[in-house]
Amino acid sequence: MTTTVPPKPSGPHGEPFRHELYPYRGEQEFLSGTLGFVHEALEDGEAVVVALPSDKASLLRRELADDPAVTYVDTTTAGPNPGRLVAAWTTWMQDRSEGDRPVRAISETAWRQARSAAQLSELRYHEWLLNRAFARSSTWSMLCPYDAADEDRDALTSLSRCHPLIRRDGRQAANEDYLAGEEYGFEDLPGPCDPFQELHYTHGDLAAIRSKVSQCASDAGVSEDRLPKLAVAVTEIATNSIRHGGGRGTLRTWSRDAAFLCEFRDSGYISDVMAGRTRPDAAQIGGRGLWLAHQLCDLVEIRSTPTHGTTVRLHMNVPQQAPPGT
């Protein structure tokens, strides 16, 4: 995907958004790094927003004794789709900024709770996108603790490439692994699982697209109450595809990892990497299709280049069937 790197802004503090990775091992290291980060903020009169798994949040609460400058938020309220998190973080941090008041955030993603390799990939992409989303937010900073106890060096390296800064021994330092000025390195999308359904579409085919997806989703086990949401998302993406993707495209549907997937391919190009991830302005005309898809689906994957066109995959989770006799 072709992108440009925005210039570093000169805000009230003369710094761009500060995005730190904090690899730790064990509770003591976790507390040492996060408490140091919080105390730095409190000493400077800054607000703090904390989004941690419940066990880690409890550890921090015990040490901070419910300091009123520290707010705890639950990222699960944004749902399973990482594409919703930029807008959620924007709201949480704006609510605490009170004008130009600096805000620090602590965000530990529950990596081990990801349902699939696709969701794990999108979580990493979200971490990289935070640098673009908040590039001009010079009063905001974020510490991202990462439990490195499992010694998965490849996973840590992949995540490290998304963070300009790293915290070691209580100090912030430039991260030599960060992909400064480079395009994000997506993993290749795996092909559809057999059996899959395929439909070539063009102008006038929206009704056929909705009917095809609805039937395939129902056959795959998507719950009936979620089919209308999927229909809205499919209509938005198909409309965008026809309008901006050369007037035609290809739809594929299949099931994988307890999810139903529908994929739209066309020859168009989405140049804005933040498309669909920031809340549309109430007065704007258009530009809501990808946003709605992110709000209605459990996962949205987008791959777009000028040479290969655009692929958009919508995922809807399928309820797991209990084994017989349980």
State whether 162 and 44 are in the same domain: yes
- Give the domain range for residue 243: 197-317
- Domain-ending residue, one of 112, 139, 174: 174
Whether residue 48 is contained in a domain is answered as: yes
Q: How many residues does the chain have?
A: 326
The candidate with the shortest Cα–Cα distance to 115, out of 261, 240, 237, is: 261
| In a domain? residue 73 | yes
Q: Which residues contact 40 (CB under 8 A, 6 or more apart)?
A: 104
User: Same domain for 37 and 167?
Assistant: yes
One domain, residues 144 and 45: yes
Region for 265 from its dihedrals, namely left if φ exceeds 0, alpha if ψ lies in -120 to 50, beta otherwise: beta
Would 324 be classed as within a structural domain? no
| Measured CA distances, 262 to 84, 177, 192, 213 (Å) | 19, 35, 10, 7
Determine, yes or no, domain membership for 179. Answer: no
In a shared domain, residues 74 and 161? yes
139 and 207, same domain (yes or no): no
Same domain membership, residue 238 and residue 160: no
Task: Assess whether 22 and 164 both reside in one domain.
Answer: yes
Instruction: Give yes or no: residues 203 and 164 share one domain.
Output: no
Residues 6+ apart with CB under 8 A from 129: 86, 273, 274, 277
In a domain, 214, yes or no: yes
pLDDT in single tens digits along all 326 residues of the chain: 333 333 333 333 345 799 999 999 999 999 999 999 999 999 999 999 999 999 999 999 999 988 899 999 998 888 889 999 999 999 999 999 877 889 999 999 888 788 899 999 999 999 999 999 999 888 999 999 999 987 788 889 999 999 999 998 888 899 999 988 778 888 889 999 989 999 999 999 999 999 999 999 999 999 999 999 999 999 999 999 999 999 999 999 999 989 999 999 999 999 999 999 999 887 776 679 999 999 999 999 999 999 999 999 999 999 876 555 54
In the prediction, which pLDDT does 285 show?
67
Residues 160 and 211 in one domain: no
User: Rounded to whole angstroms, how far apart are CA atoms 251 and 192?
Assistant: 11
Q: Exposed/middle/buried for 57, CB within 10 Å: 0-12, 13-18, 19+? A: middle
- Identify whether 187 is part of a domain: no
Which CATH number characterizes residue 78's domain? 3.40.50.300
Q: Are residues 258 and 207 part of one domain?
A: yes
Q: Are residues 156 and 291 in the same domain?
A: no
**Residue 209, domain CATH:** 3.30.565.10
Q: Which amino acid is at 61?
A: R
208 and 147 inside one domain: no
Residue 3 lies in a domain: no
Q: Dihedral of CA 88/282/122/210: which sign?
A: positive
Asked if residue 13 belongs to a domain, the reply is: no
If one counts the domains in the chain, the total is: 2
